[in-house]
Amino acid sequence: METFANSHNELLPQLFRMEYSKMTAVIGRLFGLHAIEIAEDIVSETFLKAAEVWRVNGKPENPTAWLYTVAKNKTRDYLKRVNLFESKIKGTLPLIIGNNELEIEQDLDFTHQIISDSQLAMIFAVCNPVNSTEAQICLALKILCGFSIEEIASAFLAKTETIKKRLLRARANLRNPSFKHALSHPVDASPARLEAVLRVLYLLFNEGYFSKTDDHLIRKDLCSEAIRLTLVLTEHAATNTTETNALLALMCFQSSRLDARANDAGEAILFEEQDKSLWSKELIAKGNYYLVNACLGNEISKYHLEAGIAYWHTTPTGQNKWEHILQLYNQLIILEYSPLTALNRAFAIGKVYGHKQAIQEVKKLNLTDLNYYHALLGYLYADTNIEKAKIHYEQAITLSTSISEKNTLMKVLKRLKAQG
Amino acid sequence: MKEFMLIFRNSNPAPDTPTPEQMQERMNWLAGIAAQNKLVDKGNRLSMGQAKTVLPDNIVTDGPFTEIKEFVRGYIVVKTTTIDEAIELAKGNPILKMGGSVEVRALLTPGENN
């Protein structure tokens, strides 16, 4: 199937990306979690058939409906074959118990509701803490987003073999009998399970937003897929929580800056130097909408706080902007420690109380092996102690693993050296 | 790493609700500890108004009152390698500017001797 996504036909790869995961989810729910591969095979075969038939006959009037019909027929054929084999030859029960043919027909209707229900079930099945978060993200990309193994590998800067192995192990874990019914409905959307799901979607988004890869297109893809999956959660009452809305608001705000964050050469552009006219007003408006929804309850999650910070970043300076941002970072770091939050908070201190106080705060952090630690100190020293600034920028460049980041830092260093 | 409780005391009668500036200063201090990954429990502020003391023989009295010296106002738990490090953290608490004090006490682990 991998070759397929890379096919030169313009329409099919696009349809593949949009429909693969939906079809896999609908058919997969019929078979149960232990047999997701069967669903994936059927959907893959459907796309192969499309490639063959459309090449000869031209593309059908309604390509999506065509795909759904073929997938449905293939599923029906598969079930007939297997049930015949199971009952007549092996004398065991049919593969699918308790579903008569009429129910199967209904379950295979690709209506918006069924697709949405199935995708929700599949999201919960895939984002299962039985696997490591890294493995969950890989599985999500493969099954929920229709990414090829090559695409996943390039997003993680990993070898395709590594990703293949990771996926194999993750699938094996999901086949464990105790998780067999994980795809049944209603979905178990208990707070703990929903929290685990939100965490994977959050990390999936971050994988795109703070990606190791310099491939701008893949990064955008990861972000928009994370948004699409989170939107599925908002379509169901049990998962449409204030926390879900806060996460979605955060994703919208961050995404609004995606186009402004890199120049044509793929180099990162610092926040303050971004062309704000490139920020997507539409996504900011959506972010505002979900943030209002997120604030309907009393709960304040880390997504609320991060969305709040991202909101303030979309506003012009003044209006005590940085005071608000600092307060939110204070709450965030108290709620959950992370080195990046600690450094971002110190940056906000610099904005509110001046660079001198921020330097003191940064030095207490004991994060000398992080490139951001040195990049931040370099920035904070730049206007008072240019020699120290240079030393820290040099250390940041040595520690950085991203080429575009190195380039950005080297530009700053060059500018400093020109000053003296 | 060892855990220490910081207990905030103040005999100076100040209102239950601090000013936004005081809140901000306290939050900056608390978050500064969290930013060093040394915060174990952000603890609580303790009410001055809703306070009773239970004594033997089923006697319940109002108070303690704020007039009582060294009224406990709140607590947090931090983790540091030494008590001196915990003391350094305590030194930044704004209650010290208002005539209060901070008590630093090691949390004993099960089986640990005093």
ipTM of the complex, rounded to two decimals: 0.88
Instruction: With cut-offs at 50, 70 and 90, classify the pLDDT of residue A380.
Output: very high
A365:B30 CB<8 A? no
Dihedral angle sign, alpha carbons of residues A300, A306, A307, A310: positive
pLDDT at A11: 80
What are residue A179's phi and psi, to 5 degrees?
-105, 10
Give the rounded percent of residues in chain A with a pLDDT score beyond 90: 48
Preceding amide of B20 cis, omega within 30: no
Instruction: With cut-offs at 50, 70 and 90, classify the pLDDT of residue A190.
Output: confident
The residue-averaged pLDDT of A94-111 equals: 65
Whether the pLDDT of residue A393 is over 60: the answer is yes
Averaged pLDDT score across all residues of chain A: 85
List the helix and strand counts (H, then E) for chain A.
20, 0
Distance from CA of B109 to the nearest CA of A (A): 24
pLDDT at A188: 74
Residues A299-358 have pLDDT tens digits of 899 999 999 999 999 888 777 899 999 999 999 999 999 999 999 999 999 999 999 999
pLDDT at B101: 92
Instruction: Mutate one of A332, A335, A337 to test the B interface: name it (highest B CB count within 10 A).
Output: A337
The answer to whether B88 touches B79, Cβ cutoff 8 Å, is: no
Nearest CA in chain A to B31: A330
A residues 306-325 near B, CB within 8 Å? 323
B35:A327 CB<8 A? no
Residues in chain A within 8 Å Cβ distance of B88: none
CA nearest A152: which of A340, A278, A5?
A5
Predicted TM-score of the model (pTM): 0.85
Residues in chain A within 8 Å Cβ distance of B39: 334, 337
The residue-averaged pLDDT of A250-256 equals: 94
* From A323, A334, A366, residue closest to B34, measured CB to CB: A334
A73 sits in the region (left: phi over 0; alpha: psi -120 to 50; else beta) called alpha
A330:B37 CB<8 A? no
**Nearest 5°: CA angle at A85, between A84 and A88?**
70
In CATH, what class is B2-10+23-106?
A: alpha beta
pLDDT at A210: 79
Residues in chain A within 8 Å Cβ distance of B25: none
pLDDT at A2: 40
Lookup result for tokens 């994936």: A40
pLDDT at A178: 59
B42:A334 CB<8 A? yes
CB proximity B36 to A under 8 Å: yes
Q: Which residues of chain B have pLDDT under 50?
A: none
B31:A365 CB<8 A? no
Distance from CA of A342 to the nearest CA of B (A): 5
Buried-exposed string B9-33: b where 16+ CB fall within 10 A, e elsewhere: bbeeebeeeeeeebebbbebbbbbb
pLDDT, greater one: A294 or A401:
A294
pLDDT, greater one: B51 or A99:
B51
Alpha helices in A127-239 (DSSP H): 133-139, 149-156, 160-175, 191-209, 216-234
A365:B35 CB<8 A? yes
Nearest CA in chain A to B88: A364
The answer to whether A348 touches A322, Cβ cutoff 8 Å, is: yes
Whether the pLDDT of residue A95 is over 70: the answer is no
pLDDT at A87: 67
pLDDT at A138: 92
Residues in chain A within 8 Å Cβ distance of B31: 329-331, 333-334, 345
pLDDT at A154: 82
Kindly report which listed range (A106-120, A186-200, A259-273) carries the lowest average pLDDT score: A259-273
Contacting residues for A298 by C-beta, under 8 A, at least 6 apart: none
Distance from CA of A354 to the nearest CA of B (A): 14
Residues in chain A within 8 Å Cβ distance of B42: 334
What are residue B55's phi and psi, to 5 degrees?
-115, 165
Whether the pLDDT of residue A43 is over 50: the answer is yes
Distance from CA of A136 to the nearest CA of B (A): 27
B27:A345 CB<8 A? no
Instruction: Mutate one of B28, B76, B77 to test the A interface: name it (highest A CB count within 10 A).
Output: B28
pLDDT at A110: 86
pLDDT at A300: 93
Buried-exposed string A61-90: b where 16+ CB fall within 10 A, e elsewhere: eebeebbbebbbebbeebbeeeeeeeeeee
> What is d(CA A318, CA B108) in angstroms, rounded to the nearest whole number?
48
Would you call B50 helix, strand, or coil by DSSP? Answer: coil
Q: What single-letter amino acid sits at A253?
A: F
CB proximity A342 to B under 8 Å: yes
pLDDT at A335: 95
Contacting residues for A355 by C-beta, under 8 A, at least 6 apart: A380, A381, A383, A384
Residues in chain B within 8 Å Cβ distance of A342: 34-37
Q: Percent helix, strand, coil in chain A (nearest 5)? A: 75, 0, 25
Instruction: Mutate one of A322, A325, A333, A335 to test the B interface: name it (highest B CB count within 10 A).
Output: A333
* From A327, A331, A342, residue closest to B35, measured CB to CB: A342
pLDDT at A248: 97
Q: What single-letter amino acid sits at B85?
A: E
